[in-house]
Amino acid sequence: MINAGTLALAALGLPFGSFVLLAVIPPLRRAGRAAGALSIAATGGSLLASLILWRGLPGQPVELQWSWLPAESGPMASVGVLVDPLAAKMLVLVALVSFLVQLYSLGYLEQETAPALGRYFAYHSLFAFSMIGLVLASNFLQMFIFWELVGLCSYLLIGFWYDKPEAARAAVKAFWVTKAGDLGFIIGIVLLWGQAGTFNFIELFAMASGKTLPAAGLGLIMFLIYLGAVGKSAQFPLHVWLPDAMEGPTPVSALIHAATMVAAGVYLVSRVYPLFLLTPDVLALIAWVGAFTALLAATLGLVQADIKRVLAYSTVSQLGYMMAALGAGAAAAGFFHLLTHGLFKALLFLGAGAVIHAVGTNDIWQMGRLGRAMPQTAIVFLVGTLALAGIWPLAGFFSKDAVLAGVWEGGLTVPFLMLAVTVFLTAFYMFRVVFVVFFGSGHAEGHPHDAPLVMTVPLWILAILTVGAGIRLAVGGDEGAHSPGWVPWLSSALAVAGIAGAWLTYQRGTVSADALVRAFRPLYFAAVKKFWLDDLYGAIYRGVFLGVSWGVGWVDRYLVDGVVNLASAWTLRWGDRLRQIQTGRAQDYLYGVALGLLLVIVWSYWR
Amino acid sequence: MGLQPYLILAACLFAIGLFGVLTRRNAIGILLGIELMLNAVNINLVAFARYAADPAGLIFTLFTISITVAEVALGLAIVILIFRVRLTVEADHLDLLKG
């Protein structure tokens, strides 16, 4: 049995090695597919290491530490890896999805030029390294560094097609909006360090359980740390970047903006859950914001015509579920939903990618009857959709029930109702997509067909895992077993109602979609406008930031520059006047000398 | 006779020389004033040498006289050159250094 720490370091080091090789050897990077092979091999090795690590996990958390930032009273911070069940599960998810997505990208991006492909895989290696580093981080400081690195990778990969203006804008938007949350995160970390004197998770947990952590200001600190999660995990009101991030290549959306990076916020809260337990107010806030985000994003998902945007809003919505569970005290349920969601949402995105690859558009109204043309994609997409809707016996059913039960038992009735409504809406909007795209009466351009093997294999693996995990849970069924008996029935009934509603509306046409729009006209209008949040941010930007900039510009132009100009003008004028005393006559200078001499003599007498 | 009358004489001579330098408009007149001032110095040197019974002062005076000769030669040469170029030796008109 190999040492757990070594395995963790191998999982971390392999993608890093691949990234460094691709970064410093340009011919290798420009080779395109060879770069992809290297990156995939490294991530595959990472996956292998994490699987072995996960299967043979010791009972105690494994921690490796190296001191860093030396100071007089011991090192200020250390770097290291921390492996416990939480990190190991997340590690497997990250490595698995990274591996499958990179494999899939070989097929999806075959049209790209070789240098672009090499760049893409270099970014992917960097992302795998950063995300694994984030998962394995043993202290806040290291986590923050990797947290920013994944943000950078997200920026780079959203803007992969950087000559497309929307993609470049979306990349910048994603960067700035998440950065707004990260500002809170780093302030929180530093404040916590000021209180506790350490960044290390294990030491902080020991302090939390020993009640030696100073309680003063802890609520504010944990709120600030939660802000980082708000930005990264696209919680209201910072969720606006995630739908725009869909401008990136679809595999990137599957990996970063569905399965792994956006879940980092949820992972962060799970990771330091013992600290959050000390601040029940912040937890309640997390639950309310999570439930509200889930509902809001679901209503937004209803009106989107872009298949990837529907999935993006559904991701925001499901992240809201996870956060709500964490806030309600059901940390295990929230993290469980993170894992299952990572599987089936990656599956859905990759399936959507296969559709987009075949049809050449994102607009669901330009697709139709694809179930016949691409049966494999249709089956796996249906599996993913059923899992997302929460249908027995797929993985999503169990995790969603655990979340709902956890929120109910946490005594949060209103968030529970929001989440229950969201179950219905989720089923409705996802099956709207399924019916319109795969069974609807529309007609797609060209002759779409199933994707090549390199793309379908990852799809099938994810589909089998989604089903397999669900069946294993249905047979074993230890997770969520303690929930109230009526919760699974309620959620299933709501999901089936949603599916039926979508079927009646978009397949049979019994209920006219236009009639629905008329019935909910104000809500529909607001959802189409994204509840004016983007406009609000735009107005704030224009009003506040441009206003302040204008003021600063005025001060610089007229006050600062004015003083400088005044000084120079006065210097010129007085220089001009002083020039007059230089007559050029030697005798006048001699007068000066004689006068000086006289003064010296007088002064020496009077001294 | 004590030291003081000599020093008073030298001071008067120096003051007359300075007055000449400052007030004369002709460059040659200014040179003459300078000569007067130098000779006031020479009187001082000789008086002190005599008073302190130290011959070094006399030797310095000889040096000063010979250097003064050289200076006058140079000064007059410069005045002649200026006259050739500017056709005047009036100090008021020689104000190339005017700011």
Q: Do A585 and B91 touch (CB under 8 A)?
A: yes
Return the exposure string of B33-45: e unless at least 16 CB atoms fall within 10 Å of the residue's CB, then b.
bbbbbbbbbbbbb
Q: Do B91 and A579 touch (CB under 8 A)?
A: no
State how far residue B90 is from chain A, nearest Cα, in angstroms: 10
Residue type, A119: R
3-state secondary structure of B26: strand
The predicted pLDDT at position A477 comes to: 57
Does any CB of chain B come closer than 8 Å to the CB of residue A577?
A: no
The residue among A416 and A482 whose pLDDT is bigger is: A416
Contact between A374 and A355 under an 8 Å Cβ cutoff? The reply is yes
Whether residue A277 is predicted with pLDDT greater than 50 in this model: the reply is: yes
Contact between A101 and A458 under an 8 Å Cβ cutoff? The reply is yes
Contact between A360 and A413 under an 8 Å Cβ cutoff? The reply is no
Range of lowest pLDDT (A224-228, A284-288, A472-476): A472-476
Does any CB of chain B come closer than 8 Å to the CB of residue A582?
A: yes
The predicted pLDDT at position A484 comes to: 67
The predicted pLDDT at position A476 comes to: 66
The residue among A197 and A133 whose pLDDT is bigger is: A133
The residue among A478 and A270 whose pLDDT is bigger is: A270
Contact between A267 and A338 under an 8 Å Cβ cutoff? The reply is yes
Q: Do A587 and B91 touch (CB under 8 A)?
A: yes
CA distance A167 to A165: 5
Q: How many Cβ atoms from other residues are within 10 Å of residue B48's Cβ?
A: 17
**Chain A: residue whose CA lies nearest to B95:** A584
* Structure tokens given for A587: 């005798």
Q: Mean pLDDT across chain A, nearest whole number? A: 85
3-state secondary structure of A60: coil
The predicted pLDDT at position A480 comes to: 47
Whether residue A106 is predicted with pLDDT greater than 70 in this model: the reply is: yes
Contact between A394 and A387 under an 8 Å Cβ cutoff? The reply is yes
* Structure tokens given for A375: 């049966």
pLDDT digits (tens, 9 = 90+) for A75-97: 778 888 888 888 888 899 999 99
**Residue A10 pLDDT level (bands cut at 50, 70, 90):** confident
CA distances from A471 to A379, A398, A488 (A): 17, 10, 16
The packing angle between helices A4-24 and A114-136, to 10°, is 150
The predicted pLDDT at position A569 comes to: 95
The predicted pLDDT at position A483 comes to: 60
Contact between A236 and A286 under an 8 Å Cβ cutoff? The reply is no
B interface test, pick of A576, A581, A582, A587 with most B CB neighbours within 10 Å? A587
The closest CB to that of A584, out of B21, B30, B95, belongs to B95
B interface test, pick of A582, A585, A589 with most B CB neighbours within 10 Å? A585
DSSP A513-564: HHHHHHHTHHHHHHHHTGGGHHHHHHHHIIIIIHHHHHHHHHIIIIIIHHHH
pLDDT digits (tens, 9 = 90+) for A301-337: 888 888 888 889 999 999 998 999 888 888 888 888 8
The predicted pLDDT at position A74 comes to: 72
Determine the average pLDDT of the residues in B33-53.
91
- Write down all domains in chain B, each with its CATH number in brackets: 4-93 (1.10.287.3510)
Q: Do B97 and A582 touch (CB under 8 A)?
A: yes
Whether residue A482 is predicted with pLDDT greater than 60 in this model: the reply is: no
The predicted pLDDT at position A446 comes to: 66
**Residue A403 pLDDT level (bands cut at 50, 70, 90):** confident
* Structure tokens given for A396: 């999503």
pLDDT digits (tens, 9 = 90+) for A239-260: 888 888 888 888 888 888 888 8
* Cα three-residue angle A470-A474-A479, rounded to 5 degrees: 90
Q: Do B30 and A587 touch (CB under 8 A)?
A: yes
Residue A489: is it exposed, middle or buried by C-beta count within 10 angstroms (0-12/13-18/19+)? exposed
The closest CB to that of B98, out of A584, A587, A591, belongs to A584
Which chain A residues have a beta carbon less than 8 Å from that of B18?
594
Q: Which residue has the tokens 């569905």?
A: A258
Which chain B residues have a beta carbon less than 8 Å from that of A590?
21-22
The residue among A476 and A487 whose pLDDT is bigger is: A487
- Give the phi and the psi of residue A66 in degrees, each rounded to 5: -130, 135
Give a three-class secondary structure readout of B36-89: HHHHHHHHHHHHHHHHHCCCHHHHHHHHHHHHHHHHHHHHHHHHHHHHHHHCCC
pLDDT digits (tens, 9 = 90+) for A206-250: 888 887 777 778 888 889 999 988 988 888 888 888 888 888 888
Determine the average pLDDT of the residues in A177-181.
88
Q: Report the complex ipTM.
A: 0.78
Range of lowest pLDDT (A4-8, A57-61, A397-401, A575-579): A57-61
State how far residue B26 is from chain A, nearest Cα, in angstroms: 11
Q: A263 CB contacts (<8 Å, ≥6 apart)?
A: A233, A319, A322, A338, A341, A342
Whether residue A116 is predicted with pLDDT greater than 80 in this model: the reply is: yes
Does any CB of chain B come closer than 8 Å to the CB of residue A55?
A: no
